[in-house]
Amino acid sequence: MITGSFPDAPCGVGDYTHRLANGLTKLGIAVAVITTDDACITASEITNPSIFKLIKNWRLYHIFKIINCIKRIRPDCIHIQYPTRGYKWSLLPNMLPLFCRLFFPKILRVTTIHEFSIAHPLRKMGMIFLLLFSDKIIFPDQREAESVLKWIPLIKTNYTVIPIGTNIEPSFSGKMAEKTLNIPYIIYFGFATKSKGIDTLLYAFKHLRSFAISCKLVMITQLSYPLQEMIKKLNLEQEIVVTGHCSPEQISHYFQNALACVLPFNDGISLRRSSFLTALCHNVPVITTKGKGIPPCLKNRENVILTEIGNSGEIADAIVALLQNPELRQKISNNAKELAKNFSWDTICKKHAEFYLSNITQ
């Protein structure tokens, strides 16, 4: 398995790869991971898979280090995870399937494309080699697959969909029942990038003042200087708590005590959003946004609350509805618990194992 990021370097795809490698190992599949030579990468929980912290960066001239490492490993399958924060803007990851085809024509080449629909057009063009020279493609949800098929319809017979799971599962200890804050709070979790709609969320909290309700926003993230300044300009310093980096146990603690989770994605909700899946597995009601293709399993005001993209007033109304309607809150929480069963790591790892075995033996 090849990935630019791996724990403890901050990256959702790196965390996903960690969980997948562990799960496959438990199923009896030998896993080796080639990743970046980064001091942040410790992966202390993995024991059986071999970890090769091979290269400092992913420039093209490092390709022969990767080829030689693969020769030593002698795998039945080369599985590339893309994109990751560790790759940065390097071209080498995009070219890996082509080089692997040249040097290892008999080894199955698989690429998981975690993010295509919101990628910059230049990055989409860079993925062409990944898509054309991989034997098989895995997508985390159907929307990502359909987005790729609009560009490259040739792969329509070479892909499958395997959902991702949460990297933060409920962590129960003696302190978990304690209240994090003395008043109800809403949670935001994830990187604070442009696609996440942070500005919409901040404006929504400004709208809450007109309802005269007591509620805080806990943001489990790190904010850029412009977003910090925006909080000051909106006079929201007293309503917002920014935690910075947290351990999985701390994140779980915040979720277990949260009234709801708000995820106002600028491109709408999809099932590849690990932050959404984290909220689901903690049975926390989610307020999020409607994109072009809403996953069929998501039902408005049944297992989620859906709002229009960029509509801060609608998000504020949804927060008030959950605050003032315990029955609605409980219904969404119960249904979220049922929905979360579809994204368990046992299921995900078994689907990968079946996928490998069926394609390697062909």
For residue 14, which of 48, 55, 42 has the smallest C-alpha distance? 42
Q: Are 274 and 164 in contact (CB under 8 A)?
A: yes
Query: How buried is 120 (Cβ within 10 angstroms: 0-12 exposed, 13-18 middle, 19+ buried)?
Result: exposed
pLDDT of residue 118: 82
- Tell me whether strands 32-36 and 50-55 are parallel, antiparallel or unpaired: parallel
Give whole-number Cα distances, 40 to 7, 86, 347, in Å: 7, 11, 29
DSSP E strands in 273-351: the ranges are: 286-290, 305-308
In terms of Cα–Cα distance, which of 250, 268, 305, 239 is closest to 117? 268
For the purposes of burial, counting CB atoms within 10 Å of the CB of 153, is it exposed (0-12), middle (13-18) or buried (19 or more)? exposed
pLDDT value at position 176? Answer: 46
Same fold, 12-165+344-360 and 185-343: yes
In the chain, the amino acid numbered 161 is V
Please give the Cα distance from 335 to 283 (Å, whole number).
8
Is 32 in a helix, a strand, or coil?
strand
Q: Which CATH code for domain 185-343?
A: 3.40.50.2000
Does residue 317 have a cis peptide bond before it, meaning omega lies within 30 degrees of 0? Answer: no
**Predicted local confidence at residue 210, as pLDDT:** 85
CB atoms within 10 A of CB 189: 24
CB 119 within 8 A of CB 139: no
Question: pTM here?
Answer: 0.81
> Is the Cα torsion angle 165, 167, 171, 177 positive or negative in sign?
negative
* Check whether domain 12-165+344-360 has CATH 3.40.190.10, yes or no: no
Beta strands in 168-215 (DSSP E): 185-189
- Across the 362 residues of the chain, what is the mean pLDDT of every consecutive 10-residue run? 93 92 95 94 66 95 97 97 94 96 97 91 90 96 91 88 90 55 88 93 93 91 96 95 92 94 95 93 97 90 97 97 96 94 93 96 61
Confidence at residue 33, expressed as pLDDT on a 0 to 100 scale = 96
Task: Report the alpha-carbon distance of residue 225 to residue 192 in Å, rounded.
Answer: 11
Record the tokens describing residue 69, joined without a space.
Answer: 């490492």
Measure Cα distances from 192 to 99, 189, 211, 275, 290 in Å. Answer: 35, 9, 27, 12, 19
Q: How far is CA 190 from CA 73, 115, 254, 263, in A?
A: 35, 15, 13, 9
What the block records as the tokens of 342 is 């579809």
CA distance 131 to 97: 8
Query: Which residue matches tokens 């080449």?
Result: 109
Domain locations along the chain: 12-165+344-360, 185-343
* C-alpha–C-alpha distance, residues 196 and 310, integer Å: 10
